[in-house]
Chain A
């Protein structure tokens, strides 16, 4: 069964450093998403992406964040200058139709900022 994959599974970085989280969505999906979950809190929407551009973003997704689909398979989330409060589990998801119809989630990347 096709699945969304994410790398790395765990990343530790120092405050102020740039990090890139990588995702490989399901191959025939056209819509891509990032969510995050701070420990003990809700899973929160960050951004959705379609046709090589952001279709929607939350207030969390400020100028420190960016997304990119650098090739036909990867979808990345970049945090330009990490803060302690960026420590969280980051989930990538993809869907074939638009909207929340059925989003398939990856296993997540745990980001720890020290």
Chain B
């Protein structure tokens, strides 16, 4: 079955500390992978995406993610967290090749940032 797992429901980090949010996927086809962020009252904003090529992708706001096919993972990282990064983060997977349009989301990780 196609699924995305975000094992951490809630993470708290100190401002300036590094961050890694975990994402594992199960997908039969070649995946497209995404990270979205949702701030309170806002829509889902795309942080970064992986389609093919270099497995380390850079996104907006200083985020990066690494695709590891052998581990079926696409973890999100940031070297130094800012208070404004407090939000909910969603990993999502879609099908390469246009077989389906839908995105499959994980349950999200709520990030709190301590001063």
Please report A residues at the B interface, Cβ cutoff 8 Å: 3-4, 6, 31, 33, 35, 41-45, 48, 55-56, 58, 91, 93, 98-108
Contacts and interface: CB of A to CB of B under 8 A. Distances in A.
Contacts of B108: 42-43
A56 B100 contact: yes
The 5 A-B pairs with the shortest beta carbon distances in the complex, nearest first, are A100-B94, A45-B102, A105-B44, A99-B98, A43-B105
B25 interface: no
Most central of A33, A43, A93, A105 by chain B CB within 10 Å: A43
A42 B101 contact: no
* Interface residue tally on B, bucketed by range: 20 to 34
Contact of B44 (A45, A48, A91, A99): A91
Nearest to B41: A107
B32 A42 contact: no
Contact of B101 (A41, A44, A56): A56
Given A41-B107, A43-B90, A48 B101 contact: yes
A56 to B, nearest CB: 5
Interface of B: 32, 34, 36, 41-46, 49, 51, 90, 92, 94-95, 97-98, 100-108
B26 to A, nearest CB: 14
Contact of B45 (A31, A33, A105): A105
Contacts of B94: 99-101
A99 B105 contact: no
B63 to A, nearest CB: 16
B43 A98 contact: no
Nearest to A48: B101
A107 B105 contact: no
Contacts of A58: 102
Contacts of A42: 105-108
Given A100-B94, A100-B95, A101-B32, A48 B43 contact: no
A99 B43 contact: no
A100 B43 contact: no
